[in-house]
Each structure stands twice: as C-alpha cells, then as structure tokens.
Amino acid sequence: MKTNLNFKNSYEVLSSMSSNNAKFEVLEWKQLKGGESLNSSVATYFMKESEIKLKALRIKINNSTVKLEAGALHYLKGNIEITSKMGGLKGLGKKMFNSAVTKETVMKPEYSGMGEIYTEPTFGHFALIELENEEIIVDDGIFYACEGNIEVGSIMQKNLSSALLGNEGLFQTRIKGNGIVALEIPVPESEIIKVNLNNETLKVDGNIALLRTGKIDFTVEKSSKSLISSATSGEGFLNVFRGTGEVWLAPTQTIYHRLDLYGLSGMTNPGGSSNTTV
C-alpha cells in the first residue's frame, strides 16, 4: 500500500535495557498533534510548552516470559500466549495477601513466546533496572513489569517504628531475582538522587525514598536524642537508612504534589527570607 505521506515515527526510544531473552524500551511521543476539539488542542499546546510527553513500554521477548501489572497491556504482536497463574489455593491466598498489604494487583499476567508487547500510554515516568541475583524494596504501587523469573512479593518491616511512623505501612513490595524490572516512578529518573551507602547512615525528612537495596535497613528515629530537642528542631522523626547499598530519593515529588494542591501561591521557602509566593 502506498501513501503520499513522508512518514517518520512520532515517538523515540527514551531508554532501553536488554538481557539474553528480552529487551525493555521506554517510548516517548515527541508531540501530540491529534486534538479534535478546542479543549484537547489547548491541553496539548500547554503540554508541549511544558514538555509533558506521553510514554509507554515496548517489551520484545524471544522465547521467554515477562510479567506485567494487570491492565498495563495496550496491544501486542507475534506468537505470544497470555496466562495468569494462581498457583492453587495457597498461591492465590499469597497473591491476595501481597495485594492487600502492598497495593499491587492480585494477578500479574505472564506473556510468553516471541514478539512485541506495548503497554498503555501514560504521562507518568519509567525507570529500568537490571537485578543480578539481588533484591530491592520499592514504594507500594510502582512495580510495572519484569522478566518472568523475577519474584514480586512483600516484606514485613523489621520494627514497629518503621511501620507506625514511616508512612510505609507494615509491609513493602520486595522484588528479587535476576533480570530486568520496569518501575513506574512519580518523577523523571533524571530528578532522582541515587545515594550510595558504604556501611553508612542516611537520614531523610519525609517520605521521599522510592527504592532501597535489600542490604539497607530502614527505621524511623527521633531527629535528636530527646523528645524536646526533636520537637523544637522542627524535624520530629526522620526516616533512617543504614548499611551498604543504594537508596533512591525523589525530592521533587513533594514539590509537584504541593503545586497540584495549592499552585504557585502555596510554594514558600521556610528556610529563608526569599520565597516563591505570588
């Protein structure tokens, strides 16, 4: 079939990661031009000016298996079979428990065979990670896809302070194994600060940690030795990470949240005389 259009892909590969049997790619649309109404045209104009772009995952598999969050599939091509393994009553019970405590979906469909899988377009952001027989603990709800031999489950906090005061709940999502993992993160990966610890301590004010490796311990502690000092310092309790490994921090996440709630008029700098209040 011939057309008179000089067609070029309207999207580009933003990032990619490959293993022996799979390739994960983050696709990004350069610009949306298909608005059919005034409202959608105005919205796409402001998205262009703000550099808000649509993204999706493309996963190429070669006689292998990948897992996706339920509902993530948009379309696929090739000889690919979709299954949802429950693992009997015991396996279903475990999946339902993990879903209840970590906010992940109960079932994660598996896609096996050879071909390409495309996920639903989103204005969110993705990060690709390759695990080498290791585990990571991530924020609830940010797991998106992985290779089939990766295990996605839950892990209980080691102490009550982490569960009661850390805003993380009693359980968190644990991902372990060998292969590629895709996470849907709340900010662009370029805005994430990846802190490497070597038998060190990291103290964080607020719930901005998205990920930590399995050898990092997490607790919640007073910012000072005494309750009075903690109260007068204005910091109260801090999230504390100890050990050797990596912690991902998303400091800009709270800024976007405040902008959504209050706009620019709600943005201030309590640490100095200058501020962004308008």
Euclidean distance between CA atoms 211 and 137, whole angstroms: 6
Question: Does the pLDDT value for residue 99 go beyond 70?
Answer: no
**How much is the average pLDDT of 65-89?**
86
Task: Determine, yes or no, domain membership for 104.
Answer: no
Rounded CA-CA distance 241/238 in Å is: 10
- Extended strands (E) in the chain: 11-18, 22-29, 55-68, 73-83, 110-119, 125-138, 143-147, 151-156, 171-185, 193-204, 209-213, 216-222, 237-249
pLDDT score at 222: 83
Give me the pLDDT at residue 266, please: 66
pLDDT at 203 over 80: yes
> Counting Cβ atoms within 10 Å, is residue 132 exposed (0-12), middle (13-18) or buried (19+)?
exposed
pLDDT at 6: 53
Give the lowest-confidence range in 68-82, 90-104, 108-122, 263-277. 90-104
The tokens describing 67, both together, are 């897992």
pLDDT at residue 278, as a whole number: 39
Write down the pLDDT at residue 44.
84
- Confidence check: pLDDT of 269 > 70: no
Position with higher pLDDT, 255 vs 87: 255
Answer whether residue 198 shows pLDDT above 80: yes
Total count of domains within the chain = 1
Instruction: Quote the tokens at residue 29.
Output: 């649309």
Q: What is the pLDDT of residue 140?
A: 86
Angle at 276 between CA 271 and CA 278, to 5 degrees: 140
CA distances from 74 to 70, 86, 122, 159, 188 (A): 11, 23, 11, 40, 22
Q: Is the pLDDT of residue 92 over 80?
A: no
Asked if residue 131 lies in contact with residue 179, where contact means CB atoms within 8 angstroms, the answer is yes
Rounded-to-integer distance, Cα 65 and Cα 62, Å: 8
Mean local confidence (pLDDT), 144-167: 75
The whole-number pLDDT of residue 43 equals: 84
Q: Would you state the pLDDT for residue 48?
A: 82
Residues 28-57, mean pLDDT to the nearest whole number: 86
Instruction: Give the mean model confidence (pLDDT) for residues 168-185.
Output: 89
Quote the pTM value: 0.80
**Residue 228, domain extent:** 188-278
Share of the chain above pLDDT 90, in %: 54
| Residue 25 pLDDT exceeds 90 | yes
Q: How confident is the model at residue 162 (pLDDT cuts 50, 70, 90)?
A: low
Token code pair at residue 148: 């089939």
Of 141, 126, 147, whose CA–CA distance to 55 is shortest? 126
pLDDT of residue 258: 87
Confidence band (pLDDT; 50, 70, 90) for 159? low
DSSP assignment of 23-88: EEEEEEES------SHHHHHHHHHHHHTT---EEEEEEEEEEEEEE-TT-EEEEEEEEEEE----H
Mean predicted lDDT score pLDDT of the chain: 82
Q: Answer whether residue 244 shows pLDDT above 60.
A: yes
pLDDT at 75 over 80: yes
Greatest CA span in the chain, whole angstroms? 77
| Burial class of residue 43 (count of CB atoms within 10 Å of its CB; 0-12, 13-18, 19+) | middle
Closest CA to 69 of 114, 110, 113: 110
Give the model's pLDDT for residue 116. 98
Contact status, residue 267 vs residue 257, Cβ threshold 8 Å? no
Average pLDDT (210-221) is: 92
pLDDT of residue 113: 97
